[in-house]
Every structure is written in structure tokens, then in C-alpha cells.
Amino acid sequence: MRSKKLLLIDGNSVLYRAFYGVPLLSTSSGIYTNAIYGFSMMLLNLLQAEQPSHVAVAFDKGKMTFRHAYFPEYKGKRQSTPPELIGQFPLARDLLVHFNIPSLELESYEADDIIGTLATKADEDGYEVFVVSGDKDLFQLVSERITAGMTRKGTTDVVRYDPAAVMERYGLAPTQIIDLKALMGDTSDNIPGVPGVGEKTAIKLLTQYGTVEDVLAHAGDVSGAKLQERLREHHDLALLSKKLATIDRAVPLTVSIDDLVYHGYDSVNLREVFRTYEFRSLLTRLGKEESAALTESGESAATGSAPLDAKEQSTNGAYVKMELDELAEHLGSLGERCAVLFDVEGEYQTGKWNGFTVAGPQGAFYVPLSEEQLQTEKAKKHIRAFLQNDQVIKIVYDAKAIMVRGVSYGLSDDVEQVIAPVFDTLLVTYLIYTSEGEPSLIDVIEKADGDIETPEWVKTGIEKGGSMRPAALVHCALRLYAGYERLQANLVRFQLENLYVQLELPLAAVLADLELYGVKVDVPRLQVIGSELAQGLERLTGEIYELAGVQFNINSPKQLGEILFDKMGLPPVKKTKTGYSTSADVLEKLAPHSEIVTHILQYRQLAKLQSTYVEGLLRVVRQPESRVHTSFHQAMTATGRLSSADPNLQNIPIRMEEGRRLRMAFVPTDPEWVMLSADYSQVELRILAHLSQDEALIEAFLADMDIHTRTASDVFEVAPEEVTSLMRRQAKAVNFGIVYGISDYGLSQNLNISRAQAAQFIEQYFAKFPGVKLYMAESVQKARDLGYTETLLGRKRYLPEIHSRNFNDRSFAERTAMNTPIQGTAADVIKVAMVRLREDLKKKQFTGKMLLQVHDELIFECPTAELESLTQLVRQQMEGAAVMSVPLKVDVHSGTSWYDAK
């Protein structure tokens, strides 16, 4: 016989969590289902894990409750429920019927009150009770027999709280949670609390006095005159807040615990409901019998409505092969859109096309290609007719790669005409799930159509190629086709459609142009630079040997550690499992006290320049044009910044002269042309001024002052002309450190000063720029409230760690909340400029070309005759890329090489 165990679920809370935790899903007929999908998953998990004898789900009944009678503003500031969620509440109640679980609601009461009443009665009757919600209000119910389960991450992660866990989390007993809310309030329910009293202060008061009534009775004894005043002034508000926060445990219910006996769900009807809502993964959970029934029914695992052959293709690896000249006959059956994936041998952007697969409403087929075919005009004509059909949207992964390869194969001279119109699932997935890095094709299909787990044979076929690759591509194409509407809906839901359509998709064409055109390298000059570096390394090697008194392998950390710490007696900073650490940060701490360490650091820098950049560049220079073609990663960084690879031209070290000299090897295509460099001046600090609306910061930029001198002048309270180079250097470190949410420890390391001094610098900075301090605090709070931070253009970065109990995770999220709107907006601004400049260069028929983007800098080449007009155009578009409270400023220089253009 099962033990007496009552499972109570807050239906409203769990549905809300599921709605925001699961990407927006809909059936093939357009019914939104993501909340009930998460709700169903939660129910199945709980029923399996808890094995309850009694179950109920409680819902709120209407918007007005008995609490509104004495506080009309209760819950008055809540945002309206999204229409996509409203329609799922009746579906959830219908689901519960098939789960054989009663749903309870009562006019004028909330779900919490129903749960509180049943939990209390069950506790008195000796039941074990588990209440599940996303609302911490239910912590007040926790007792020896009542445990609260808090949902996290939408649907599956439930954290259990018994009295000890509540005490660990808050330092309070469960019954004191009501008093906590009475003092600090609750913005989500619009419970006022005592203005100015936060969680930390409230916990401290309750730890000392016990209840809100006792705190108010001792208002004159608490530390701080201002706090005493607040407690006296808002005495009645605190008591009202406690009344609002208290769960009613005596609701006049017409059901008893005996009415909640759970006998299991109705498997036949539940399967039918899951089929209706196209919950294929949940159907699988209900057993092998359902899998057989699903196969017999002919439903598509990929699209939910396609015929059986599409399911067989997706699940069993079967695929239809079609020759290229047959393709034209099938173009009319594709409908408004189809998914297209290329079978690429080698790197996706540069590899050989072996074929492509097309998935549409009638299933999918694979078209093999040969190098010989791709050289013929007949084959190109067939491919163009398909890829450039303006009546069919092509759903692809990585449109830029297709553009680059398509131009290389001669399908078009214009990258935007290679494939159009196009829906790039790589960029869309990246925008929706920015914090997760560059999504692979497997990542994309699982985000787009997450009901189906990707079989191992598909992953192997995609990642390793071989005979299963065409079948794997068919599977993925069917999934992309099925997931299109979900991705499109999420773009709209998260307000990212404009960012995708107006910026990221056009930018893909800009980057395709840059990759195809490349930049010329003066190979002889690069070889001379390499020889000079080799001579420098030889000289440093001799000096290091002389100082050490012995020859050794400088590149061996073990031998270097023995020389520095055993033979020469330098103090070891830290050890590793294999011996002394000789990492860069260790050597930099020792460098001021040791000449040999200084030489070793120089040696390492020159060795990296030689191997990574000189030898690395020489390996990838394409002849006979002597050009390098970097690849830009558009969907990799969480801030939206671009990165480059193969070779990485954004990370050429320029802090040391030897690194800067590498830029001498980058020259214009024509010896009579010039290179032009346009670099944003202090763009992140200007964005900070706009976002923070700090008067002093705005004033400095409007007056075109040197911002670091101005900061030093304000912080050190001296006239600008009295600012020393040291003061300016320290102010610069603080300025840029603030942008990245630097701590006093981090600043102390940067400036090699004490933490106390660093803390004082930061305190003085915020005193002079109070708007910046307020902006930082508001950015963190906004991220806590919304779960994400965003740029001026609406690029979002989700920060689930901001609620983490782990200090390091939480601190990282807080710094990210401060920094991403600044750094991400800077990334967006230069992208806007790049898109506009490409349009203008084409429209005004410039001969000059955009070559590279390096962080806040754009590089061009042009004939001398165009230099003046190009300079004017570049400055106009870069400085006009965003309208802010302070002007954007661009420094433009030109010269016979990239080095000379700085």
C-alpha cells in the first residue's frame, strides 16, 4: 500500500514558467502549445518521481481576490498575460482531465490559498505533502511534513525546500517568510512593504526581532536614524503588506483530501491528446506501444502533417535521389518555402559541393553534384533556377557560406543573388539563443524542432561524413522545414525580427564580400619582418643564456621553472601538478624585479609573432594574387561582436612595435592605391554616456575633451592642465574598467596598487559620475527582473546565472548585465555602418573596397582620386550609425599600407 502523499501544484505558476522556459511551439494548425508541453513534461516527471497517493492542481480564479478589498492596487503592476499563453490555460485544464487530476479554483481566492488550505489539512492528517510552484510565497507553508518544490528553467528542474533549506537560503524559519515580504515588499505582486528596506536589511531585522510586529515595536532601537524613520512612517503599510502576503489556510473548499485520490492517467485518451498537440517526444515516453501506433498512423515525425515517406526519410535514413536535370519538374511542388542543405566536403565555406538536399511539404530529396557538372553552364542554370526562385523562401543553415561558395562556382557575381529569398536558421538561432555560442547544424535543428531527439547516426553523418551523410542531411532538412514557423514565431516573440531582417541578414552579404575579396599581402616584406623577428629571438636567446649561466630549452616550462626558481632563487608565485608555474601572469609579477624574466616575456612575444602571424600568414596566402581571405564568424560571440579566423586578422598584437610592424605587410591591391583606416574613438564610453545620461560624462564628450584627462581631473580634483601622465593612465584604467564592471581587486591588479586604493578610485569615480553608478545598478536590476540584458538595437543576452546562489556565477552575470548593453551596442553600431557603406559604395560606384573589420575599426582601399570622397562617406556613415546624446567620433587615416594608415 502506498504511503499517504499529497502532491499539490500551482497551475498558474507552472504554466507561466513553462511558457517562458520553452521556446514558442505551435501545432501545424497554429495552436500555441509550449506552455502545456512544459506543463505535461512537469506532470509526467513529478508523477514518476513522487508516486503520490493524492494529487491536485490549483488555479487562480479571475483577477480580483479578497486581497483587493483592502488593497485595490494588489498585483496592479503586472504586465498583461501574452495572448499566446492565455489560450493555453483552458488546454491545460483539459489535459488534467486526461491525467485524471482534479483542477481546483474558487472565486476571490488564489491558487496559493487553495494549496495552503489543502496542505495544512493534509499535514494535520499525517500526510507527506509536496507543493510545487515557481512562487516563493509557498515557502511559508513549509513544515516537517510539507516540502516546497521551486521550479527552475521552465519545466524539469525542481529544487526542494524543507525547513532547513529555507533557513539556509534566508536565515529565517518558513513562517518568517511572510514577515520578510511584509518588510521588503514584492514587486511582482505589488506588495509595497517598507520603502527603502531590501532583503538584506529585512533578514537582519527579523533575525533580531522575529516578526514584523516585533520589528515595528522596536523601531526606535534599530540602528540608523533613517531606517527608524521609515519603520515608524510606514508602520501601517508593513502590517498591510503582511496581510497581503499571508496565504489563507481556511478557504471554504467543497472538496476534501479524499476527493484527490490518484489512480493514474488515462493512457489511451492522453495519447490522443498528445497526438493532437503533436507532442512526439512525450508520446515516446508513454511506451513502445505508442511508437508502433504512431508509425501505423502515418504521421510525420518531422512535420506533424507530411505523409509517411517523410517520416521514413527522417527516422530511418531513407532518401530519394534526384538528378539535377529533374529538379525543374519539382520546383512547382515546393510551395512557399523549402529547406536546403548543401553536402560540403571539407570546410563549409570553402569545401567542394557534393550535392544538396531539399525538404518541402512532400518530403525530401537529395541532388548529387560533381565537380564536372559544376563547371557546366547547364548545371549552373538548373541550380540558379532553384536557388534564385523569388517565389520560394529557402530555409538554410549559414547563408553566408552558400553566398561565398556560390560566387566561387559562378552562380552569380552578386552574393545576395546567389540564393534569395533566404531564411538563415544559423543567424536566427544565434539571435534567440545568443549566450550559447555559435550553433552547429545539430543545435539548430534541435532548437527549431525540439520534440525529436537527434539520432546518433545523423550526428555521425553530419560530423564525419561518409555514406550516411546524404541521409543525415535529409533528416536535418526535414527538421529545418518543420521548425521554420517556430523559429519565425520566436523572432517575433522576442522582438528580434528587425535586428535579423535589417542588420544581421544584410551583414552576411557584407561579410561574404569581404571574405571573397580578401586583402593583399606583400610577401617579400612579410618575409623581411620574419627575418627581423628571427634575429631578435636569436639575440634574446643569447642574453637569457648569459643571465642564466647555462643553456636550456626556453620553451620548456619545466626547465624554465628550474632555472628561475631553483637555480636563480626567484620567489615562486604558484605551483602546478607538474612543478612551478611559468604562466604569463606569474612572469609579469616577477618582471619588475628580474631582468631575465623581462627578456623571457619579450622572447615569448616575438616567438608568437613569428610562428602565429608571420609563418601562419605565409601558409594561407593564396597565389598568384598574394591575398589572404579570412573567415568572419557572425554568430559566435554573446555580445554580437564579429570574430575572424583562418587567419585571425583581428588579434594581431599592436601594443608592441614589432606587432604593429606586421601591418606593413598588408597593402592595397594596386600599388598606386592607398589604404584607409577608420576607427571609432572611445565608442564604448560614448555609449555609456548615452545609456547612463550622466551629465558630467555627456558634457565632456559634447565639449570634445580628452575623456581620460577629464576623468582624472574630476577624480583627483585638479585642473585638467595639472593632470599627470600617471593620473591619466589610472583614469583610463578606471574608465574602461567601469565599462566591464571591474572590481576593486581587478583594478588593483591592472594598476599594481592596493585594493584599498583601487576601491577609493572607484568610489571617487562614482561620486563624480553618479549617473554611471545608477545606470550600473539599474542594469543589474533590469536583468534580474527580465532575465536578460539588451543593446540599444534590441540584441538580447539571457542571464539565468543572475539568480544563482553561487557567488561567482552571479557576479559574472551582474558584470555582464552592465557591460553587454555597452559592448553589444558598439558591435551593433559598426555593423550598421558596414551595411550602409556597402550599399553606398555600390550605389555611388566607388572603385574602392571595404577590406576588413577589426573591432571598432574598418579598413578600406581605394584609388588616390577617391580618397577624399571615400573619407567623407566613411566618416558620415560611421558617425551617423546611431543617434545618441553624445556624438560618435571617427578617426580616419590613410597610407600606403595598413601600418601607415594609422
pLDDT tens-digit readout, 491-533: 998 999 999 999 999 999 999 999 999 999 999 999 999 999 9
Express each pLDDT in 159-171 by its tens digit: 889 999 999 888 8
Q: What is the pLDDT of residues 13-62, one digit of tens each?
A: 999 888 877 777 777 667 888 889 889 988 988 998 889 999 999 999 87
Written as nine digits, the cell of 686 is 560614448
**Amino acid (1-letter code) at residue 282:** L
pTM over 0.85: no
The answer, yes or no, to whether residue 153 has pLDDT greater than 80, is: no
C-alpha cell at 39: 506543463
- Which contiguous run of DSSP H or E holds residue 653? none
Question: Cell 594609422 maps to which residue?
Answer: 902
Whether pLDDT at 713 is above 80: yes
Q: Do domains 172-246 and 523-625 have the same CATH topology?
A: no
pLDDT (average), residues 756-766 = 86
Longest dimension (CA), the chain: 93
Looking up cell 561565398 gives: 404
* Contact present, 754 and 464 (Cβ < 8 Å): no
23: closest CA among 521, 499, 428?
428
In terms of pLDDT, which residue wins out, 332 or 117?
117
Residue 846: closest CA among 860, 830, 859, 834: 860
Topology of the domain comprising 1-171+252-282? Rossmann fold (3.40.50)
Burial (CB < 10 A; 0-12, 13-18, 19+), residue 513, is: buried
Q: Which CATH architecture has domain 686-820?
A: Orthogonal Bundle (1.10)
Collapsing DSSP states into helix, strand and coil, what is residue 303?
coil
Residue with cell string 505535461 = 40
- Binned at pLDDT 50, 70 and 90, residue 456 comes out as confident
Average pLDDT (753-765) is 84
Question: Counting beta carbons within 10 angstroms of the beta carbon of residue 575, is it exposed (0 to 12), middle (13 to 18) or buried (19 or more)?
Answer: exposed
Nearest partner of 736 among 768, 718, 762, 774, judged by Cα? 762
Whole-number mean pLDDT of the chain? 87
Q: Find the mean pLDDT for residues 303-320.
A: 51
What residues form DSSP beta bridges with 632?
644
The amino acid at residue 367 is: V
pLDDT band at 416 (very low <50, low <70, confident <90, very high): very high
427 phi, psi to nearest 5 deg: -70, -40
The length of the chain is 902
| Distance set, CA 162 to CA 69, 147, 600, 678 (Å) | 33, 5, 57, 60
* pLDDT tens column, 783-795: 998 889 999 999 9
Surface-to-core class of residue 127, CB atoms within 10 Å of its CB (0-12 exposed, 13-18 middle, 19+ buried): buried
Fold of 523-625: Taq DNA Polymerase; Chain T, domain 4 (1.20.1060)
Q: Where are the domains of the chain?
A: 1-171+252-282, 172-246, 308-494, 523-625, 686-820
Superfamily of chain region 308-494: Ribonuclease H-like superfamily/Ribonuclease H (3.30.420.10)
Cα-based distances in Å from 517 to 319, 407, 649, 741: 38, 11, 15, 39
Is 459 or 579 the better-scoring residue by pLDDT? 459
pLDDT tens readout for residues 279-296: 877 876 764 333 333 333
The arithmetic mean of pLDDT across residues 298-305, rounded, is 30
DSSP secondary structure of 367-409: EE--HHHHTSHHHHHHHHHHHT-TTSEEEES-HHHHHHHHHHT
Domain 172-246 has CATH 1.10.150.20: yes
What pLDDT digit, counting tens, does each position of 629-642 carry? Answer: 999 999 999 889 99
